[in-house]
């Protein structure tokens, strides 16, 4: 393991979430790279946040993970930080604070398991830009993907098993596991982006742990940008499954690790309503959030990475 007199920073990166309905417009604008969305689009997004309580717990959960992780680590050797991609504390706000604390080496981990140039690449770009602005840039080790980490796969498998156990007895054995992740524009396929392959590989690995003979993968939360996005979309796919005679679905949104709008609205409201409309039962797995089991996975992953550093 690298030995330095200054502590090593553990930098957890998350997407970000507005903290009030008034924050929705600037948050949405930042996601769009500074291009202001239409008033109708803002109101549409604001209404979704209003219907899930006005805000999501994503920021709180991310800081809870950081606090629990710090408690597992020697504070003299490691300091845990949080930076957000699209809201406060922005990555660019946290990087100078890391440097001012005397930290020189950083291991950065985006709390999203699967790599894409758009998603994880975006986190890295924000970090690289902020780091380059420092008088003395940090030495950064960036964990680009961890979808194949055994602890993560075991955690999701256990959550699926727990969700199955909560179903009525007559549905437990026949319930189909439906994995989902955030859709991305189809143009990523022209880049040979590994995202779709990593999702399939990850889902297959989790399914193997559960000895599933049938499972499916779909996408959710596609943006309204006017270009094609990866599919099938979960709402359309539920109709297809209904046509196959599927009566119960276990929703495993394994592309996410915390309760936020894509889970609380897209799954718990839209997908649940679609399933009910079709006469199907949909049970979502409990998200990793800030549960001790998830923090244990992250701690083990970081330990493995730190041990390999020169």
Tens digits of per-residue pLDDT, 158-185? 999 999 999 999 999 999 999 999 999 9
Structure confidence at residue 93 (pLDDT): 98
Residue 231 sits in the same domain as residue 183? yes
> Model confidence over 18-28: pLDDT tens digits?
999 999 999 99
User: CA 279, CA 273: separation in Å to the nearest integer?
Assistant: 10
Which residues, including other chains, have CB under 8 Å from residue 273's CB and lie 6 or more apart?
Answer: none
Identify the CA nearest to 285 among candidates 257, 304, 306, 309. 257
Quote the domain boundaries for residue 246. Answer: 150-284
Q: Could you give the C-alpha distances from 185 to 2, 6, 19, 125, in angstroms and in order?
A: 39, 42, 27, 19
**Number of Cβ atoms within 10 Å of the Cβ of 115:** 21
Structure confidence at residue 3 (pLDDT): 46
User: CA 219, CA 200: separation in Å to the nearest integer?
Assistant: 11
Residue 204 sits in the same domain as residue 265? yes
Per-residue pLDDT at 137 exceeds 50 = yes
Is 157 inside a domain boundary? yes
Nearest-10 crossing angle of helices 91-100, 120-132? 50
Is 2 inside a domain boundary? no
Identify the CA nearest to 95 among candidates 106, 111, 110. 106
CA pseudo-torsion sign 287, 293, 296, 301 = negative
DSSP-derived 3-state class of residue 151: helix
Is 53 inside a domain boundary? yes
Structure confidence at residue 309 (pLDDT): 75
Is 3 inside a domain boundary? no
Per-residue pLDDT at 133 exceeds 90 = yes
DSSP-derived 3-state class of residue 86: coil
Q: Greater confidence, 4 or 108?
A: 108
Residue 85 sits in the same domain as residue 167? no
Residue 115 sits in the same domain as residue 137? yes
CATH number (domain holding residue 70) = 3.40.50.1400
Order across the sheet with 105-110: list the strands: 78-84, 8-14, 105-110, 139-143
Residue 214 sits in the same domain as residue 264? yes
Q: With contact defined as beta carbons under 8 Å apart, do 158 and 150 qualify? A: no
Q: How many structural domains compose the chain? A: 2
Is 276 inside a domain boundary? yes
Residue 106 sits in the same domain as residue 162? no
Average pLDDT, the chain: 96
Residue 121 sits in the same domain as residue 15? yes
Q: With contact defined as beta carbons under 8 Å apart, do 192 and 230 qualify? A: no
Structure confidence at residue 1 (pLDDT): 44
Is 33 inside a domain boundary? yes
Q: With contact defined as beta carbons under 8 Å apart, do 60 and 67 qualify? A: no
Q: Greater confidence, 310 or 144?
A: 144
Residue 31 sits in the same domain as residue 128? yes
Is 120 inside a domain boundary? yes
Residue 134 sits in the same domain as residue 234? no
pLDDT confidence tier of residue 75, bands split at 50, 70 and 90: confident
Q: Could you give the C-alpha distances from 295 to 75, 102, 288, 292, in angstroms and in order?
A: 16, 25, 9, 5
Residue 219 sits in the same domain as residue 247? yes
Which residues, including other chains, have CB under 8 Å from residue 259's CB and lie 6 or more apart?
Answer: 56, 57, 58, 61, 287, 289
User: CA 178, CA 8: separation in Å to the nearest integer?
Assistant: 39
Per-residue pLDDT at 224 exceeds 50 = yes
Structure confidence at residue 193 (pLDDT): 98
Residue 128 sits in the same domain as residue 190? no
User: CA 61, CA 63: separation in Å to the nearest integer?
Assistant: 5
Residue 156 sits in the same domain as residue 271? yes
Q: DSSP letter at 91?
A: H
Is 194 inside a domain boundary? yes
């Amino acid at each position: 393991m690298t030995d330095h007199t200054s502590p090593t920073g553990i930098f957890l990166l998350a997407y970000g979430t507005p903290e009030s309905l008034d924050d929705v417009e600037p948050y949405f604008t930042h996601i769009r790279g500074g291009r202001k969305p239409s008033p109708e689009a803002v109101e549409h997004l604001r209404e979704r946040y209003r219907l899930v309580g006005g805000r999501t717990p994503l920021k709180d959960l991310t800081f809870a993970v950081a606090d629990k992780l710090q408690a597992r680590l020697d504070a003299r050797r490691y300091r845990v930080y949080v930076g957000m991609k699209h809201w406060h504390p922005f990555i660019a706000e946290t990087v100078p604070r890391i440097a001012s604390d005397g930290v020189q080496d950083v291991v950065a981990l985006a709390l999203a398991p699967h790599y894409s140039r758009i998603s994880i690449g975006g986190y890295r770009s924000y970090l690289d830009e902020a780091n380059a602005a420092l008088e003395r840039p940090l030495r950064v080790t960036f964990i680009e993907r961890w979808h194949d980490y055994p602890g993560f796969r075991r955690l999701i498998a256990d959550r699926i098993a727990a969700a199955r156990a909560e179903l009525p007895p007559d549905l437990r054995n026949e319930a189909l596991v439906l994995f989902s992740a955030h859709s991305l524009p189809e143009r990523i396929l022209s880049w040979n982006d590994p995202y779709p392959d990593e999702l399939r590989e990850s889902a297959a690995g989790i399914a193997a742990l559960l000895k599933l003979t049938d499972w499916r993968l779909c996408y959710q939360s596609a943006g309204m940008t006017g270009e094609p996005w990866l599919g099938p979309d979960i709402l359309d796919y539920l109709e297809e499954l209904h046509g196959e005679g599927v009566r119960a679905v276990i929703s495993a949104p394994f592309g996410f690790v915390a309760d936020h709008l894509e889970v609380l609205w897209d799954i718990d409201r839209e997908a649940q309503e679609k399933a009910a409309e079709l006469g199907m039962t949909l049970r979502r797995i409990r998200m990793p959030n800030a549960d001790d089991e998830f923090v244990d996975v992250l701690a083990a992953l970081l330990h493995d990475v730190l041990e390999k550093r020169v």
